[in-house]
Amino acid sequence: MNKALLAEVLLWIANDPDPNGREELERLLEIDDERELRARFSSPLRFGTAGLRGPEIAGPAGMNRATVRRATQGVVAWLEETGVDPDRGVVVGRDARHGSETFNDEVVGVLLGAGARVLEMPGPLPTPFVPYVLKALDLAAGIMITASHNPPRDNGFKLYDQSGSQIIAPSDDIVERHMANATLARIGDRSSNLHHVVGPDVLEGYRRHVLERFGVGSSDLAITYTPLHGVGGAVMAELLCAAGYANVDLVERQFAPDGSFPTLPFPNPEEPGALDLALASADAAGSTLVIANDPDADRLGAAVRAPGGWRTLRGDEIGWLLASALLTGAGPGDVVATSIVSSTLLEAMAKEAKVRYALTLTGFKWISRAAGSGELRFGYEEALGFAVDPLVADKDGMSAALALCQLAHGLREAGKTLLDRLDEIEGHFGVHAGAQLSLRVEGPHALARIVAKVESLRAAPPRSLGGLEVTNVVDLAQGAFGLAPTEGVLFELGVRGRVVVRPSGTEAKLKAYIEVKVGPDPRTDLSRQRADAAAQLGRVRDELSSILEF
């Protein structure tokens, strides 16, 4: 075995506080599995689109007690280097995944050992509460242990700065530098007078605000809700009741938090089949709207009863619906924002409403900062992330659910549905058909293969896709549209649409985002325009799929 690698593995084993982790690496040494050890030590976890995220395995490439300790040490050193007083406090939260409670304990222990004031969530709770508490109490930072919608084997570490937003460069580089140089951590305990538990009065501020803004008083709208085995269940059920919805059906088999996600192949509302149980429950209950949170309740999925059965809404469609309500009454300092992989329709809606529009890189760490000195009226990303109120400087699936239900209730009172509103939007602005390709790559060299595929597209881009000419190729790594450089390539299809291909920031996936535009055309029936757009979208998707195949 390579001597440098061996020395690195032995040093990690010596400093790993977890006996199971030490045993795991020692076993790999015993069988001389250099390939696996190199995979675990050559690519340490880094802050991506949503913080550190990876499988629960031993070594720097995994989420484990040693990685969490080093990351937390990095946070303390980052605060000191950037002149932020840790005495202001760090709020710490966790979801209900396997390992989250243990990792939460490590974060709290390292922070207390370093002399930082800690405000710990009273139990596993939704991610949006961390940035909410951070802003509400004007704290120094926030840490959330979660892997959001990732597969059950994964966990993660999200970090928020004093603004309440997830960190961006150079903060991520600073934390990673200190992680790499971390030594043995001093561990404090909860008997310290620096330790506090976030009280119910603080969280009541969130509840009161969202109910005042999005409550309806009384509604007979029939809703089915699922938290997909996550931490949103009890919180969201109470919010829906307090908001005035008396006819709420809860998906019992998915209601209790369970990190194994026993009824789901992937705990992501976007995944095919993820809403199957909810739709069946909605049929039995006679619901007209299904809403779903992902396991940490920062995302929102939805489905609407249609004449031919259920229609699951795309993230862009939910974004347009929410924008149609939230743009009403927007002020001169308000901003709406979405990312480069989301639909271009929001820009047209904002322009007509005379509201400033901002385009951002992928991820809410960018969207939440898009307003600058103004106020973010609404921000969204097609991956079911929505920010409907500046109370939380991140995506929030709970307040977004209340906002969507409020819109559905108002439309119902007027004899309309969410689908009617979508007809109005696309009839006016044109059909914007969208689809996503998501190619999961397995194995120790998965990330390298993904990067190589993007490089090949950059070097030899297609001249057409699905019969549409590629009119421009934008290398996002060089910076474009006034944005910072990011990995990915954008293909413009003239006025007919665009395609963005990029590596996922949270999983070993290559992702492609396709949008095809048709209309508006008052001479052609909207259903005909949608059929034309869907056919064209299918042609682009099929050709792109063959190009991206591994």
Q: Is the peptide bond before 520 cis (omega within 30 degrees of 0)?
A: yes
Residue owning tokens 């939910």: 318
Annotated catalytic residue, options 100, 148, 339, 399: 148
Give, rounded to a whole angstrom, the gap between the first and last alpha carbons of the chain.
30
Can you say how many angstroms the Cα of residue 90 is from the centroid of all Cα atoms in its chain?
Answer: 22
HEC sequence for 194-232 = CEEECCHHHHHHHHHHHHHHHCCCCECCCEEEECCCCCC
**CA–CA separation, 400 and 384 (whole Å):** 10
**CA–CA separation, 491 and 461 (whole Å):** 8
Contact by Cβ (8 Å): 74, 116? no
Secondary structure (DSSP) of 328-367? TT--TTEEEEEETTS-SHHHHHHHHHT-EEEEE-SSHHHH
215 dihedral zone (left: phi>0; alpha: psi -120 to 50; beta): beta
In a 13 Å sphere around the CA of 445, the CA atoms on its Cβ side amount to: 6
Q: How many helices (H) and strands (E) does the chain have?
A: 17, 22
**CA–CA separation, 427 and 10 (whole Å):** 64
Residue owning tokens 């009890």: 234
Other residues' Cβ atoms within 10 Å of the Cβ of residue 1: 12
**CA–CA separation, 376 and 394 (whole Å):** 11
Burial of 46 (0-12, 13-18, 19+ CB in 10 A): middle
**CA–CA separation, 122 and 128 (whole Å):** 14
Is 287 labeled as catalytic in the residue annotation?
A: no
**CA–CA separation, 302 and 419 (whole Å):** 12
Question: For 44-182, where are the E strands, in sequence order?
Answer: 52-55, 90-94, 118-120, 141-145, 154-160
**CA–CA separation, 275 and 279 (whole Å):** 6
Can you say how many angstroms the Cα of residue 490 is from the centroid of all Cα atoms in its chain?
Answer: 21
Phi (first) and psi of residue 357, to 5 degrees: -110, 140
Residue numbers annotated as active site: 148
